[in-house]
Amino acid sequence: MYQRELDKIQPNIAPTISGYQKENPVDQTYLENQARSQAAATMRAVANASNGNRGYVSVNNAVNAYNLQNNLGALGINAAKQNQADRLAVAQFNANID
């Protein structure tokens, strides 16, 4: 009586583990936002400590902006390297399981 309905049910086959890691464990945006907020705090501290000396503020803000750009570049490179290393480790681990 129910055999026709039971024959329609497909077997549930679990997919195999693949070597691809979709997400990036190191959140580059978070690190960039942290660096930018730290640079902004430094710029505010320089402006507060300048006693109205605009030259002092502009020179220190230029130096701070230069350092921020260098730090953002280094953060991006390091995050990409870490994510790539994690991807390789996951792929190697999954290959050993399969």
Name the residue ranges covered by the structural domains of the chain: 28-97
Query: H or E segment at 77?
Result: helix 54-97
Question: Looking at residue 39, what is its pLDDT?
Answer: 95
Per DSSP, 94 falls in state H
One-letter amino acid for residue 42 of the chain? T
Distance CA 77, CA 26 (A): 11
Buried/exposed 8-45: b ≥16 CB within 10 Å, e otherwise: eeeeeeeeeeeeeeeeeeeebeebbeebeeebeebbee
| pLDDT tens digits along 26-39 | 888 999 999 999 99
AA letter at 3: Q
* Single pTM value for the model: 0.66
Query: 43-91, pLDDT tens digit by residue?
Result: 999 999 999 899 999 999 999 999 999 999 999 999 999 988 988 888 8
Residue 92 DSSP SS3: helix
